[in-house]
Amino acid sequence: MACNWLASGELPAKFWFFVVKRAAEVCNYFPLKLGDGSWTTPLQLAHNVKPDLRMPFKVFGLVAVRQERNGDSMLGKFEVQSIPIIAVGRCTNSNGLLFYNPANGTFVSSVDYRFQHDVTSGSFFGFKYQPGVFNYRLDESTSIFTLKFNLESSVYVHTHSPPSIGTIIGIPTYPTPDVYTVKFKDDSISE
């Protein structure tokens, strides 16, 4: 559920906390059938409170939130009186939603908003979507790119004059997929 919401918003992994939090909230609303045939939810079992189903919203949707002033000055009648921001969750201090403003990196809570359904928030703000979120360390046993050279293979290294033959002793990591660790005949190591 969380990965699909990130993909639908075209957002990077820095929003992972908010999407997992929202997925847990939604899972607490799923109905369960008890052994006696009655229906309940995990939230009702844990806290003895029925879930509030009045606040469903599209997580990571692009939202226009109303603003009446810019700093200390009131906005005029013909000035834009809304700002585009991203819906990230429910506000714990009010009945409104919590929004993230990428322009200045702040969070805003409001009850006066309107969802914009024709564009994703990631494309609107120019975020680069990161398909696939990996929860394991990328090392010699787990890589997501194709290696050009295998471990223990001999290669010509053109950093020396004349080119030297070296043996690959370390493969690249994800951030630098073209940097190999090479050991030469004199036991010196280089990248």
Last residue of a domain, one of 125, 153, 181: 125
Last residue of a domain, one of 125, 159, 178: 125
pLDDT surpasses 70 at 184: yes
- Residue 45 is assigned to a structural domain of this protein: yes
**What are the tens digits of pLDDT across the range 66-125?**
877 666 777 777 776 778 899 998 888 888 888 999 988 889 888 888 888 888 888 888
pLDDT surpasses 60 at 138: no
On whether the CB atoms of residues 172 and 180 are closer than 8 A, the answer is yes
Q: Would you place residue 175 in the very low, low, confident or very high pLDDT band (cuts 50, 70, 90)?
A: low
User: The pTM is what?
Assistant: 0.59
CA separation for the pair 98, 131 (Å, rounded): 25
Q: Are residues 35 and 95 in the same domain?
A: yes
Q: What is the pLDDT of residue 36?
A: 92
Last residue of a domain, one of 82, 98, 125: 125
Provide the residue range defining the domain that includes 160. Answer: 136-191
- Residue 131 is assigned to a structural domain of this protein: no
N-to-C CA span, the chain: 41
pLDDT surpasses 50 at 137: no
Q: Would you place residue 173 in the very low, low, confident or very high pLDDT band (cuts 50, 70, 90)?
A: low
Q: Would you place residue 15 in the very low, low, confident or very high pLDDT band (cuts 50, 70, 90)?
A: confident
N residues, the chain: 191
- Residue 90 is assigned to a structural domain of this protein: yes
On whether the CB atoms of residues 180 and 145 are closer than 8 A, the answer is no
Q: What is the pLDDT of residue 56?
A: 74
On whether the CB atoms of residues 170 and 147 are closer than 8 A, the answer is no
> Which bin fits 71, alpha (ψ -120 to 50), beta or left (φ > 0)?
left
Q: What is the pLDDT of residue 86?
A: 92
Q: Are residues 165 and 75 in the same domain?
A: no
**What are the tens digits of pLDDT across the range 18-67?**
888 888 888 888 888 989 999 998 888 888 888 777 667 788 888 888 87
What are residue 99's phi and psi, to 5 degrees? -125, 150
| Average pLDDT value for residue range 3-8 | 82
